[in-house]
Amino acid sequence: MTAMIDVRGVRKSFGPVPVLRGVDLTVAEGSVTCVIGPSGSGKSTLLRCINHLEKVDAGRVQVGGSLVGYREAGGKLHELPDRIIARQRAEIGMVFQGFHLFPHMTALGNVAETLVGVRRLSTKDASVRALAALRDVGLAEHADSYPRRLSGGQQQRVAIARAVAVEPKVLLFDEPTSALDPQLVGEVLAVMKDLARGGLTMVVVTHEIGFAREVADSVVFLDDGLVVESGPPAEVLLAPREARTREFLDRVL
Ligand code: ADP
Ligand code: MG
């Protein structure tokens, strides 16, 4: 299996505070990795380093075999021009806790606008593809609805449709269900499960341990900026080796 995402020795501090202290992460093509860990352990920062929303202080990130944000020449890393980084980011989709939909655009508009902006499709082609993407998340009949008319679960499904429509190589999820009322969590997880089954490479920061157990190929427990333990869910979630992992799971389960 080839590594679709390869994170090596990534360090990141904000001012004097180290947030990532040498993180390694390998995600095989077509696999799902769930990242779990306490609040403040660096999970969001790790995702943001993968798509170069944060610049790493040390280490490197590769997606699809290419360095993200840099090119290597003469043994040194040189940051890439913004337009190249934008092109790389098109291959690294992200879904946030807070949906981040454009409020003044319909569901269809949200997805189509992104396709026009990122993939340079014509308005007509973008609309066709956007409708198909909304159909895939069960929202074709809400294509003309504005976000405020949709439930949180529906809004998050639009955000997922928007990310998937771009056809990224990988999709990163940062606590996609944490802002939702409990009864809306299931519909979003179901859509994510479909995507996983379809072979999309996914990294999912989540507190939904049941989802991780059922869907993840690999689970990573991050604590205090370090990977404490990683492996198949049956090991990390059901028979953790590290005391810190056990303590965390006892608290969230
Ligand atoms: P998690 O997602 O696991 O809750 P984060 O990656 O969001 O953790 O944050 C880890 C730590 O880094 C926290 O202490 C947070 O306050 C700090 N942090 C995150 N982003 C910034 C930033 N842009 N500036 C300063 N500190 C930050
Ligand atoms: Mg976070």
- 18 CA distance to ligand 1 centroid (A)? 10
This complex has an ipTM of 0.98
Please check whether residue 212 is in contact with residue 253, taking contact to mean a CB–CB distance below 8 angstroms.
no
pLDDT the model gives residue 238? 97
Q: Which ligand is nearest to the CA of 248?
A: 1
User: How much distance in Å is there from the Cα of 42 to the middle of ligand 1?
Assistant: 6
Query: Residue 97: what are its φ and ψ, rounded to 5°?
Result: -55, -40
Encoded amino acid at 163, one letter: A
Helix residue ranges per DSSP H, the chain = 43-50, 82-89, 107-119, 123-136, 152-165, 182-197, 209-215, 233-236, 243-252
d(CA 176, CA 178): 6
217 in Cβ contact with 5 (< 8 Å)? no
Confidence of residue 6 (pLDDT cuts 50, 70, 90): very high
Atom of ligand 1 nearest to the CA of 46: 6
**The ligand 1 atom nearest the CA atom of 205:** 2
Measured from CB, residues less than 6 Å from any atom of ligand 1 are 14, 19, 37, 39-45
Beta strands 218-223 and 32-36 are parallel
Looking from the CA of residue 54, the nearest atom of ligand 1 is 23
Query: How far apart (Å, rounded) are the C-alpha atoms in residues 219 and 157?
Result: 24
- Residue among 216, 252, 210, 253 nearest 233 (CA): 216
Going from the Cα of 223 to the center of ligand 2, the distance in angstroms, rounded, reads: 12
Mean pLDDT of 225-238: 98
Q: Which ligand is nearest to the CA of 175?
A: 2
Q: What is the mean pLDDT of the chain?
A: 97
pLDDT score at 2: 80
Query: Relative to the alpha carbon of 220, which ligand is closest?
Result: 1
